[in-house]
Amino acid sequence: MIKFFRKIRYTLMEQNKTSKYIKYAIGEIFLVVIGILIALSINNWNQERKDRILEKEYLTRLKKDIEFDINWTNTYILGRYKRKVESLEKGKTYYQGNYAIKDTLQFLKDIGYGGVFGNASWNLSKNTYNELISTGNLRKIESDKLRTEIVNYFENNIAQSKASKNYISGYINFTNSFTAFNTNNPDFIAEFDQKLLLKHIKTEEYYRLANLELTLAHRVSNFAEDTIKLAEELIISIDAQLEN
């Protein structure tokens, strides 16, 4: 094709047909420009198609991560919150002299349960989000609104997780210092340890730590409820984008 156009140019030049040559040259340039534009258009279309495929993959993974967050938060935080509060209140009532123990071992197990999720460690999934940030692929999410929602959700989780660590009360260390917890035999408490722990539950130090642990429990519960609300709203937005 190039040889063909070149032959026409040579013929026009040899015949000294300058005006026709110029017109032909302009036409040839026009065709080249059109070809380049078509090539760019095809390339852009192909890149856009790849971006949408990648976006769908990321959004699908994000949705799974967020669903994991919801299940984990419901199970390990909200699902244990009520009993945790009841256990701590029971310990405070005993300190005040208004609780009569019927089963010492069960009572002490309840006291120990007051420390669940007391280390304020949030096991929320951030792998896909971290990948989006580190690779710069967050921009592959087409919707500006959805990108903002994703960032707000995960950055809020990260900030709250860090802040929650400032509320760790020391309750777990206190109870474990009098009766070691064995995951292989969680119900066992030596008789001497039982008496020692009962004695220290009657101290002001325990009462103070129980109040701090209750503060953490309420704070974490509120954060858990907010997390689930944001997660459910984000899943709705992700589903809407996936359906486009």
Residue 14 has pLDDT above 60, yes or no: no
Instruction: Tell me which range, 46-55, 112-121, 150-159, 203-212, is most confidently predicted by mean pLDDT.
Output: 203-212
pLDDT interval class at 44 (50, 70, 90): low
Task: Please check whether residue 158 lies inside any domain of the structure.
Answer: yes
Q: What is the tens place of the pLDDT at every residue in 99-139?
A: 999 999 999 999 999 999 998 778 788 999 999 999 999 99
In a domain, residue 22? The reply is no
Per-residue pLDDT at 163: 85
Residue 216's domain comprises 56-243
pLDDT above 90 (res 170): yes
Q: Please, what sign has the CA dihedral across residues 66, 72, 73, 74?
A: positive
Highest mean pLDDT among 114-128, 183-197, 211-225: 211-225
**Domain assignment of residue 33, yes or no:** no
* Residue 38 resides in a domain: no
pLDDT at 59 over 70: yes
CA–CA dist 209, 200 (Å, integer): 12
Total number of domains constituting the chain: 1
Angle value at C-alpha 64, between 62 and 68, nearest 5 degrees? 115
The answer on pLDDT for 9 being more than 60 is no
Tally Cβ neighbours within 10 Å of residue 161: 17
Q: Is residue 45 part of a domain?
A: no
Express each pLDDT in 70-102 by its tens digit: 999 999 999 999 999 999 999 999 999 999 999
**Is 224 a domain residue?**
yes
Q: Does position 218 have pLDDT exceeding 70, yes or no?
A: yes
In a domain, 50, yes or no: no
Whether the per-residue pLDDT at 149 is higher than 90: the answer is: yes
Do the domain assignments include residue 121? Answer: yes
* Helix or strand (DSSP H, E) at 123: none
81 vs 16, residue with greater confidence: 81
CA distance 67 to 73: 10
